[in-house]
């Protein structure tokens, strides 16, 4: 069996798409052998600054007769060279071919793939592994794509503990290259979502009235449906749109939370994504731009800011209801020393209270006596300098909450895939 890993062929400005390249290779490689599985679309660390969009890399697994290997490789490399947007300085393709599957290679690649999903690697890390195992590899320009190519090939070799599917439908080049707006009957998309959820997810964002399965860039993707296999096929058959040039189902690590590292606050470093358990330190505050921020502390005594940024829309309403003392688990990436929230579990609610004007000995509630002057009973003239603290019921349930589909990261596990006390957002 040959595994082909490819990454970093597309560009934000010049277009292209590594998954489209994979889709074309699926067709062209058919005459060379038999595919062992669906093509793999692997999402790597979502915090990498070099990414074009979702930091995806692809891997294909195919049985090819030894005599046809070289010709197949040549065809793959021609296609990569032809489709890559090499004029963009940020496009640095990498391709790897794995034929052997020695135990050491498997082990080293497993750890490399995990680091590519959870940490930040250097091009040298990929080249070191390639040299150590004499991996057949090809790079264009600075070869940064070797990182993603190796990581995806590593997952193809070792498998993933969890996976979902995405069906991606592509546009005809004549429309994609001229920037013609995507012609999709959004009513059929909404209907497809209603009929197939929860076997599909993140097709539309009902609360925020957005279709999220249709991209807006100059890439050839018409739409992408995420979910379980039967769900994505069902939804695809219900959507009416401009002609689909081709559609391919990818097995992916999307919706699996593979990027999250269980940790404590003192270990957090920018660029990685975490699961942290702690206590809310202060009342969440809304800052300029509509972002909601609060601090948590954990057993290490360290504190860290957590943020529900403005694009997380209605998720912020949940976060605003937290108070000091609430026990939470937060999930998200660290950036500038702040956790950008993807999900939160409210484990235990602290007792809620509010301050009200004190009650006078006569039984009537006092009135404010003026700014900074405490309270005064209008009838008896009694005074008090402190308000009464009274218990109130908390307007929040325990359990997991998540950002809405319009703010979801590809790799984040949607709550619709989780069990227990969950409040899926849709």
CB of 48 to ligand ATP, least distance (A): 5
Among 50, 107, 353, 355, binds ligand ATP (CB under 6 A): 50
Rule CB under 6 A: choose which of 2, 25, 72, 116 binds ligand ATP: 116
Which structure tokens are listed for 140? 């264009």
Q: CB-wise, 173 or 194, nearer to ligand ATP?
A: 173
Write the burial class of residue 339 (CB in 10 Å: 0-12 exposed, 13-18 middle, 19+ buried): buried
| Site membership for ligand ATP, residue 56 (CB under 6 A) | yes
Select 196 or 273, whichever has its Cβ closest to ligand ATP: 273
Nearer to ligand ATP, 166 or 205 (CB): 166
Please report how close the Cβ of residue 215 comes to ligand ATP at its closest, in angstroms: 9
Terminal alpha carbon distance of the chain: 41
Q: Is 402 in the site for ligand ATP (CB under 6 A)?
A: no
User: Out of 2, 3, 44, 272, which residue is the one contacting ligand ATP (CB under 6 A)?
Assistant: 44
Could you tell me which stretch among 47-55, 67-75, 186-194, 377-385 binds ligand ATP (CB under 6 A)?
47-55
Q: Which stretch binds ligand ATP (CB under 6 A): 115-123, 131-139, 192-200, 299-307?
A: 115-123
Number of residues that bind ligand ATP (CB under 6 A): 24
Nearer to ligand ATP, 96 or 346 (CB): 96
Among 1, 26, 33, 51, binds ligand ATP (CB under 6 A): 51
Does residue 292 sit in helix, strand or coil? strand
Name residues contacting ligand ATP, limited to 125-184 (CB under 6 A).
144-145, 147-148
Choice between 50 and 353, CB closer to ligand ATP: 50
Stretch binding ligand ATP (CB under 6 A), from 4-12, 330-338, 374-382, 385-393: 4-12
Sole residue written with tokens 């934000």 = 12
Determine if 261 is a binding residue for ligand ATP (CB under 6 A).
no
Angle value at C-alpha 307, between 304 and 312, nearest 5 degrees:
160
Q: What is the DSSP string of 22-60?
A: HHHHHHHGGGTEEESSPPEEEE--TT-TT-SSS-EEEEE
Does 120 bind ligand ATP (CB under 6 A)? Our answer is yes
45 in Cβ contact with 259 (< 8 Å): yes
The answer to whether 276 and 339 are in contact (CB under 8 A) is: yes
Stretch that binds ligand ATP, among 42-50, 163-171, 186-194, 354-362 (CB under 6 A): 42-50
- Single out the segment in contact with ligand ATP by CB under 6 A; choices: 118-126, 158-166, 318-326, 391-399: 118-126
- Whether residue 325 contacts residue 331, with contact meaning beta carbons closer than 8 Å, is answered with no
Instruction: Work out the angle between the directed axes of helices 145-158 and 103-118 (0-180°, nearest 10).
Output: 120
Smallest distance from the beta carbon of 130 to ligand ATP, in angstroms? 13
Give the span between the Cα atoms of 102 and 400, in whole angstroms.
42
Complete DSSP assignment for 189-216? HHHHHHHHTTTEESSEETTTTEE-SS--
Residues 301-340 contacting ligand ATP, CB under 6 A: none
CA distances from 331 to 151, 262, 325 (A): 23, 9, 18
Q: How far is CA 197 from CA 47, 209, 267, in A?
A: 29, 16, 38
Q: How far apart are CA 322 and CA 163, in angstroms?
A: 33
Binding site for ligand ATP (CB under 6 A): 7-8, 10, 17-18, 44-45, 48, 50-56, 92, 116, 119-121, 144-145, 147-148
């Amino acid at each position: 069996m040959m595994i082909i890993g490819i990454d970093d062929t597309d560009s934000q400005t010049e277009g292209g798409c590594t998954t489209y390249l994979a889709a074309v290779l699926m067709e062209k490689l058919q005459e060379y052998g038999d595919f062992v599985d669906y093509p793999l679309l692997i999402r790597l660390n979502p915090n990498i600054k070099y990414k074009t969009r979702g930091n995806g890399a692809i891997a294909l697994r195919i049985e090819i007769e030894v005599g046809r290997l070289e010709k197949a490789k040549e065809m793959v490399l021609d296609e990569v060279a032809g489709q890559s947007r090499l004029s963009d300085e940020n496009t640095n393709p990498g391709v790897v071919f794995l034929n052997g599957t020695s135990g050491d290679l498997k082990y080293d690649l497993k750890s490399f793939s995990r680091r590519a999903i959870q940490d930040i690697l250097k091009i040298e890390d990929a080249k070191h592994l390639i040299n150590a195992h004499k991996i057949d590899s090809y790079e264009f320009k600075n070869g940064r794509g070797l990182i993603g190519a190796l990581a995806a090939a590593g997952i193809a070799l070792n498998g993933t503990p969890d996976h979902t599917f995405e069906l991606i439908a592509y546009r005809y080049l004549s429309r994609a290259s001229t920037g013609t707006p995507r012609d999709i009957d959004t009513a059929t998309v909404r209907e497809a979502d209603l009929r197939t959820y929860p076997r599909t997810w993140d097709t539309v964002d009902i609360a925020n009235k957005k279709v999220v399965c249709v991209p807006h860039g100059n890439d050839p993707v018409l739409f992408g449906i995420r979910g379980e296999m039967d769900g994505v096929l069902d939804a695809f058959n219900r959507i009416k749109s401009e002609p689909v040039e081709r559609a391919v189902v990818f097995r992916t690590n999307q919706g699996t939370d593979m990027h999250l590292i269980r940790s404590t606050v003192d270990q957090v470093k920018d660029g990685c994504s975490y699961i942290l358990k702690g206590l809310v330190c202060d009342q969440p505050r809304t800052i300029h731009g509509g972002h909601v921020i609060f601090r948590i502390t954990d057993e290490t005594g360290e504190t860290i800011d957590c943020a529900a940024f403005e694009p997380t829309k209605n998720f912020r309403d949940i976060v605003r209801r937290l108070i000091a003392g609430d026990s939470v688990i937060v999930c998200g990436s660290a950036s500038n020393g702040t956790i950008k929230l993807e999900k939160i579990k409210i484990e235990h609610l602290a007792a809620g209270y509010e301050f009200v004007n004190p009650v006078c000995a006569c039984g009537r509630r006092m009135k404010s006596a003026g700014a900074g002057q405490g309270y005064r009973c209008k009838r008896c003239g009694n005074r008090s300098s402190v308000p009464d603290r009274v218990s109130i019921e908390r307007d929040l349930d325990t359990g997991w909450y998540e950002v809405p589909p319009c703010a979801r990261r590809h790799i984040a596990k949607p709550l619709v895939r989780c069990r227990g006390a969950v409040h899926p957002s849709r």
